[in-house]
Structure 1
Amino acid sequence: MAPVTKKSKENANKRSSNSKASAKPAKKARISVDSSDEDELDNTATEEVSSKEDALDDVISDDDEEEQKEDLEDEDKDDDDKTENNKATGENASSHVEQRKLLKERKMQRKGGSEVQHIKSLWERLRVKTPPMPRPVREKLSNEIWELAKDCISDLVLKHDASRVVQTLVKYSSKERRDQVVNALKGKYYLLATSAYGKYLLVKLLHYGSKQSRQLIIDELHGTLRKLMRHREGAYVVEDLFVLYATNEQRQQMIKEFWGSEYAFFRESHKDLTIEEVCESSTEKRNIIARNLITTITASVEKGSTGFQILHAAMREYVKIASEKEITEFIELLQEQLAELVHTPEGADVACTLIAKANAKERKALIKNLKNHADKLIKNEHGNMVFITLLLTVDDTVLVFKSFGPSIKEIFSELVIDKFGRRPLLYILLGLDGRFFSPILKKELERYIKMSEATSKKPIDTKRAELLNKFAPLFVSSVSKSSAEILTENLGSQFISELLLNDDLYEQLSEKEIKNFNSIIENIMITFKGDIIEEDHPIHRPFSTRLLRGLIQGGKWNNKEKQIIPLSNVEGLGTPFAAKFYDDIIDSSNLLDWINNRDSAFTIVAIYETLSKSKNEGKQFLTDLKSVLKNVEADESNKGAQLLIKLAK
């Protein structure tokens, strides 16, 4: 242990005097602390005592006796200082007790002070979750709290601890009691919405309340929503109300308030009108509505509320009526926050509209701010629509690839098995194919294409061909590296099927990339090696079998023409694949097992249909098939085997 020197003792004394100095303002602050923080007072007192003792608790080393004798007199002085400090500490602790007593007396003297203390003691019992409280006991406690609270509930709801009492009461009360609480707070909902503590009670009332009580709250807050959106606490209440609790009709009512005072207070006269219909009737009205919307939006963006869905809904109203100049100004306002919009349907619509209407320079700025969010953008249900709109409308395909290609490569194996993440990749491969894009989605995307006609010069097909040229090598190399992982997923197998059975993609590949393409085919073959009796064999997965049959047939099934449309450019599939698959994976030793297994029988049918048309390949398969057909099990449930027998006759 280090020896004590005079210098160390002087420092200790300084620390002691500093502790005393800092203790004075702390006393003054604790006088105004609520009763719920009484435990903190005890902790503070204990911490102060320990800090003073630690400051003077210097340790004397046993190694240097001479130095100990020299410092003996100084130690005696330190002992005296300790004694004085201990006395001060005792006085300080007793003053804390007096403060708590005084605080309690003051609270009891307040309006309803004794009732509040009684309510809190009942609440401590009511809120217990473990062990679960019997329902009759909980109802009895709720009734007692309500009888005490109903006359002073307006005073309780704005205090942090008492507000929690009412929240618990609402949670465990009956429908009738909740309606009573809602009615008791009439006229207070704006105050609750703007209160740091009251807003939680308001959200509880919305969550547990009836349709009638929600409508009552919405009606009372109506006319103040624009003001609340600019309030730090109120904005969150409005957002929860819009997203979680309002009906579609109530949402429309809330949004129209952002149009202006006329549409907030004269609701019935504009009930069924859209913003386009109102603006078409009068240029003056359009200008007033646009000004009101952009004022609220700008204020909310500046306060950091860009992620709110109700604000996105207001933005969507604005872009419907905005002029070309207003769109340019709006892009400038939102370009750095555009990524915060794409997680909601309204926000994604706004982002798509801005991208479609932007000029080349503006699109470049928007892409710059979106590329750092590629992962969340592409995987998101609504965000991937924004990315597809980029692919559809941006003429600079090199910029698109440079901005998003590296991110896509990094998470490729995740994207191809993601319900939404794979959609942009499938667009690059196939365009707006009806198998992957519903009529509703196609209609929305076509609307953005039409918007972009004024600023986009290249035809859609030309842009997609350029994108395919750049992304094809990335797709093939990524699948080649992760094929084993991707093939275990339904969506992954489907993507690989679309990748391999694609003439347009094959044309874009260099010799090196064609080797990667062929390695994918080899990996698929290897996957099907093994005994098909085993449960984990891929032949028992329907999606794996569909992929395999597509490669054997060497084309895609056309549902309209009811036939396989063979590939014209892709090499290695169809007849060559079928012959190689039989030689390497099945052969004569286990051909009968494949036929007798219901999961694999149709694969043999596909091999037969492909190789029976070939003049040069498949002779060994046809010979082996004839020799084993007589031993096929007579199982009517095995439709594939039954069909094979008919075809081979």
Structure 2
Amino acid sequence: MAGIKRKSVVPSAAESKTKTKKAKVEKPTSKRDSKHEVKPLKKSKKVQEESSEDFDDSDSSEQENGTHDFQADEDEDEDMSDADSGEGEELETTKQDGKAHKRKDEQKSKTNAPDSKLSELNSNNSREAHAKQKALAKERKAAKPNADIIERTKKLWEKLRLKSHIEKDERKKLVKELFEIITGRVKDFVFKHDSVRVIQTAIKYSTMEQRRMIARELKGEYKVLAEGKYSKFLIAKLVEKGDPEIRDLVITEFYGHVKRMINHPEAAWIVDDIYRQIATQEQKNRLLREWYGPEFSIKGLAIQGTDSGELSVILAESPEKRKPVMSYLENQINSLIQKKLTGFTMLHDAMLQYFLVCEPGTEQANDFLEHLKPDPTLKEGEEADNVDLLKNLAFTKSGSRLMSLCFAYGTAKDRKIFLRPYKDTIETMAYDVHAHHVLLAALAVTDDTKLSSKSIYSELLPSNDTLPEKVINMVNDARARTVLLYPFAADAKWLLDDNTRERLAELYTIRQKTSKKDPNTRLQEIAKNIEPQLLSAITARAADFASFSFGLQFMGEVLVGAPEVEPSKRKEALAEVARLSQSILDAALPASAGDNKATSHGKNMLKTLVQGGKFDPSTKKVVPVEPALGFAVLFWNEIKSNVVDWATGQGSFVIVALTEAENFDKKDEVLKALKKAKKQLEAAANPTGGQEVEAKSKNQKKGDKAPVTIRGNAGARILLEKL
């Protein structure tokens, strides 16, 4: 009936237990089982809402039904039972895992035991094998001929090669003992890589007679020794420490074999070193002639005609040989160049002889130049095959002459191509005895002065703080100084040696036909390009330049040259020199203290600057530069207070130049100051005792010592005449 609530039936305890007790689920014992465990499905939100609504619609509460406390107790019991079962299962799994680990460790120990035994056996076997190998090697070594003797000499060598631990007497004993062993058996030692060192040490510490003994024993074997990888050093040591007899013994065995030896990877260097440093001129000619054809290589064949090594002389005597000789020589040169063996002096000599015989402008000469030129189509960073050849040529006497002739005979384009490979070696070339001639040749014949200045001087004169130091170093060096000052003093005797003048004279003759620009114009343009850097160096380090004679000459040439370039920088440099004028005269600078040469060059430099130009020997007049230097005014302002000391001392001719200088408006002021000190000038011009000495010299008898003459100051006498 409606409105009447039904009483809910309270279930019994047994029924409630059976209904509410959850089913016990066993936990998985492994990870694999847990992965495949079926998870209970989650109720959707709709189902949960429906269940909650049903629960709310119920008319009876938990307290009325009497089920609240009972279910809570049941839940607590279930939770506790689950926890207990979980702990038990965990303990069981840990015990099982521990047992499993123990079993694994036992298995590993069982398996490792035989492995360790095997490794010990293997190590023992390898030791025994190595010991057997060593013993076998010793047996084989001992079985070789002269094994005992070589072993003894090697022990002596071990002691001898120590330079600082053996006294002189002990070394003599060791050398004596060593020669007792090797005498008569030298050939048994020289062909083995270890025992040949013993002979080299014996040569080093032996007497000349002992060295001759070794050389005589090796007679007939020098060609074979030169081809050996280690024995070639024995020949080098022998000719280095030997005398002419040893030299002749070695070199004569090379006759007839030059072609083969110069192409041999080991013998080539020994032959070329001996040719360059040891051989006489006659021996050099004989070795070089073998490059001209097989008929010059026949050993024992008497030389017919000239014995000169110059190809032009040989062909002048036998013109019919020109074609075969030139063909043979060309093949020899090409074979070495293709093998990139381009550093040999013999090769450079042969190339020069070939080019000197070629007539300029002919196809043969042009082909030779074409072969020398690097490939002009190469991009920047790429290097042609013959770049190393051109660099090596520059550093030998014949090679540098050949390259100089290439610059002289080449076209404007050829000169540009020939300069390019030397870009990164310009500084090294400037200091070299032969290579600096190549740079001078490029400066002397190249019409494109911007190209030559940029290619050469941009490397020598950097635009950074190192410029003054580099210039000082170059001025101090005889070769680099020539390259630096050539645009300013191309004909100065103090600058160029005889060899350089001879080389330049040859180029000057050729450039009359191959160059278009006037020589003086060429030099002036080059000087203008490098003048600013040199003026900066002088301004920064004037005192250092003034402390040595070549530095003073350098300043004189640079300050007078190209006066229209950088007038402000030039004025600064001249002011710095004027400030140091007294120190220059007295040689009071630290590096030049007491140097008479520095004083002499200093006076000459100051005189040149005061005059405002160089003295021309042909006209016997000073040629002033334009625009005027203006050094006379700067100089007068510095020495005004002690002009009398200058006039009566070593600087008297500088004052004479000051009174004769053009464009100097204060001459009257100078003469006025000198008039006040006329007595001092007279005393300096005619010192007391000078007339007495002259009278005594007239009455001097024959055989008597000449009296010491007291000469007056010639400059002071000239100044007195001007007053």
CA contact (8 A) 2:408 2:441 kept: yes
**Cα 1:221–1:623 shift into 2, 3 Å:** same
**Cα 1:493–1:613 shift into 2, 3 Å:** closer
Q: Displacement, 1:439?
A: 5.2
Q: In the alignment, is residue 432 of structure 1 matched against residue 480 of structure 2?
A: no
Equivalent residue, structure 2, for 1:157: 190
Q: Which of 174, 180, 183 does residue 141 from structure 1 map onto?
A: 174
> What letter is aligned with 1:369?
P
CA contact (8 A) 2:646 2:655 kept: no
Q: Which of 588, 602, 617 does residue 666 from structure 2 map onto?
A: 617
Residues of 2 paired with 1:613 and 1:255: CA distance?
60
Which SS does the other structure have where 1:221 is aligned?
coil
Equivalent residue, structure 2, for 1:288: 324
Q: In the alignment, is residue 327 of structure 1 matched against residue 362 of structure 2?
A: no
> What letter is aligned with 1:189?
Y
Gaps of 5+ in 1: 1-65
Q: Which of 544, 564, 569 does residue 516 from structure 1 map onto?
A: 569
Residues of 1 paired with 2:623 and 2:512: CA distance?
36
Q: In the alignment, is residue 448 of structure 1 matched against residue 482 of structure 2?
A: no
Which SS does the other structure have where 1:278 is aligned?
helix
Q: Displacement, 1:570?
A: 4.0
CA contact (8 A) 2:585 2:651 kept: no
Total equivalences in the alignment: 565
> What letter is aligned with 1:97?
A
Q: How does 1:334-349 map to 2 (within 5 A)?
A: 334-335=372-373, 336=387, 337-349=389-401
Equivalent residue, structure 1, for 2:257: 224
**Cα 1:194–1:332 shift into 2, 3 Å:** farther
Residues of 2 paired with 1:566 and 1:459: CA distance?
20
Please tell me whether Structure 1 or Structure 2 has the larger radius of gyration of its CA atoms: 2
Describe the superposition over 1:243-282 as per-residue Cα deviations: whole angstroms up to 9, x where unpaired.
Answer: 2211121111111111122123335224434311222344
Which SS does the other structure have where 1:506 is aligned?
coil
Q: Which moved more, 1:228-237 or 1:78-87?
A: 78-87
> What letter is aligned with 1:607?
I
Q: Aligned Cα RMSD in Å?
A: 3.6
Residues of 1 paired with 2:393 and 2:661: CA distance?
56
Describe the superposition over 1:120-161 as per-residue Cα deviations: whole angstroms up to 9, x where unpaired.
Answer: 2233233342244335x5444334333433444223112121
Q: Which of 463, 467, 479 does residue 420 from structure 1 map onto?
A: 479
> What letter is aligned with 1:114?
D
**Cα 1:138–1:611 shift into 2, 3 Å:** same
Q: Which of 260, 263, 266 does residue 233 from structure 1 map onto?
A: 266
Q: How does 1:59-74 map to 2 (within 5 A)?
A: none
Residues of 2 paired with 1:83 and 1:485: CA distance?
81
Q: Displacement, 1:118?
A: 1.8
**Cα 1:608–1:321 shift into 2, 3 Å:** closer
Equivalent residue, structure 1, for 2:447: 395
**Cα 1:401–1:235 shift into 2, 3 Å:** same
Describe the superposition over 1:365-405 as per-residue Cα deviations: whole angstroms up to 9, x where unpaired.
Answer: 11111233211222222112111211222233332233224
Q: Displacement, 1:290?
A: 1.9
Q: Which of 583, 599, 611 does residue 553 from structure 1 map onto?
A: 611
**Cα 1:533–1:514 shift into 2, 3 Å:** closer
> What letter is aligned with 1:554?
G
**Cα 1:602–1:100 shift into 2, 3 Å:** same
Residues of 1 paired with 2:454 and 2:718: CA distance?
55
Residues of 2 paired with 1:469 and 1:484: CA distance?
24
> What letter is aligned with 1:269?
Q
Residues of 1 paired with 2:584 and 2:215: CA distance?
68
CA contact (8 A) 2:393 2:400 kept: yes
Q: Displacement, 1:526?
A: 2.4
Which SS does the other structure have where 2:149 is aligned?
helix
Which SS does the other structure have where 2:307 is aligned?
coil
Q: Which of 631, 636, 646 does residue 582 from structure 1 map onto?
A: 636
CA contact (8 A) 1:579 1:618 kept: no
Residues of 2 paired with 1:111 and 1:338: CA distance?
50
Q: Which of 250, 258, 263 does residue 291 from structure 2 map onto?
A: 258
Q: In the alignment, is residue 111 of structure 1 matched against residue 145 of structure 2?
A: yes
Relative contact order, CA 8 A, sep 6+: which one is greater? 1
Q: In the alignment, is residue 96 of structure 1 matched against residue 169 of structure 2?
A: no
- The normalised TM-score by structure 2 is 0.70
CA contact (8 A) 1:120 1:165 kept: yes
Residues of 2 paired with 1:305 and 1:469: CA distance?
41
Which SS does the other structure have where 1:602 is aligned?
coil
Q: Which moved more, 1:332-341 or 1:185-194?
A: 332-341
Residues of 2 paired with 1:87 and 1:629: CA distance?
114
Q: Displacement, 1:645?
A: 6.4
Which SS does the other structure have where 1:92 is aligned?
helix
Equivalent residue, structure 1, for 2:522: 463
Equivalent residue, structure 2, for 1:488: 547
Equivalent residue, structure 1, for 2:403: 351
Residues of 1 paired with 2:302 and 2:516: CA distance?
44
> What letter is aligned with 1:567?
P
Equivalent residue, structure 2, for 1:571: 628
Q: Displacement, 1:621?
A: 3.8
Q: Displacement, 1:496?
A: 1.6
User: Percent identity among equivalent residues?
Assistant: 26
> What letter is aligned with 2:224?
L
Q: Displacement, 1:101?
A: 2.5
Q: Which moved more, 1:621-630 or 1:155-164?
A: 621-630
Q: In the alignment, is residue 527 of structure 1 matched against residue 586 of structure 2?
A: no
CA contact (8 A) 1:375 1:407 kept: yes
Q: Displacement, 1:415?
A: 2.9
Describe the superposition over 1:22-52 as per-residue Cα deviations: whole angstroms up to 9, x where unpaired.
Answer: xxxxxxxxxxxxxxxxxxxxxxxxxxxxxxx
Equivalent residue, structure 2, for 1:602: 650
Residues of 2 paired with 1:644 and 1:241: CA distance?
61
Residues of 2 paired with 1:566 and 1:602: CA distance?
24
**Cα 1:555–1:463 shift into 2, 3 Å:** closer
CA contact (8 A) 1:417 1:490 kept: no
**Cα 1:325–1:93 shift into 2, 3 Å:** farther
Which SS does the other structure have where 1:565 is aligned?
strand
Residues of 2 paired with 1:592 and 1:457: CA distance?
53
Residues of 1 paired with 2:405 and 2:287: CA distance?
23
**Cα 1:174–1:257 shift into 2, 3 Å:** same
Equivalent residue, structure 1, for 2:336: 300
Describe the superposition over 1:440-494 as per-residue Cα deviations: whole angstroms up to 9, x where unpaired.
Answer: 5333223234344554344434433443443444544554455444333422221
Q: In the alignment, is residue 644 of structure 1 matched against residue 716 of structure 2?
A: yes
Residues of 2 paired with 1:129 and 1:531: CA distance?
49
Residues of 1 paired with 2:197 and 2:180: CA distance?
17
CA contact (8 A) 1:602 1:640 kept: no
Gaps of 5+ in 2: 1-97, 374-386, 463-469, 689-708
Equivalent residue, structure 1, for 2:49: none
Q: Displacement, 1:521?
A: 0.4
- The normalised TM-score by structure 1 is 0.77
Residues of 1 paired with 2:445 and 2:108: CA distance?
83
Residues of 1 paired with 2:669 and 2:112: CA distance?
104
> What letter is aligned with 2:409?
K
Which SS does the other structure have where 1:450 is aligned?
helix
**Cα 1:235–1:560 shift into 2, 3 Å:** same
Residues of 1 paired with 2:557 and 2:416: CA distance?
31
**Cα 1:333–1:227 shift into 2, 3 Å:** farther
Residues of 1 paired with 2:615 and 2:114: CA distance?
98
CA contact (8 A) 1:497 1:547 kept: yes
Residues of 2 paired with 1:203 and 1:116: CA distance?
22
> What letter is aligned with 1:199?
K
CA contact (8 A) 2:585 2:603 kept: no
**Cα 1:163–1:591 shift into 2, 3 Å:** same
Q: Which moved more, 1:412-421 or 1:468-477?
A: 468-477
Residues of 1 paired with 2:120 and 2:622: CA distance?
95
> What letter is aligned with 2:283?
Q
**Cα 1:623–1:281 shift into 2, 3 Å:** closer
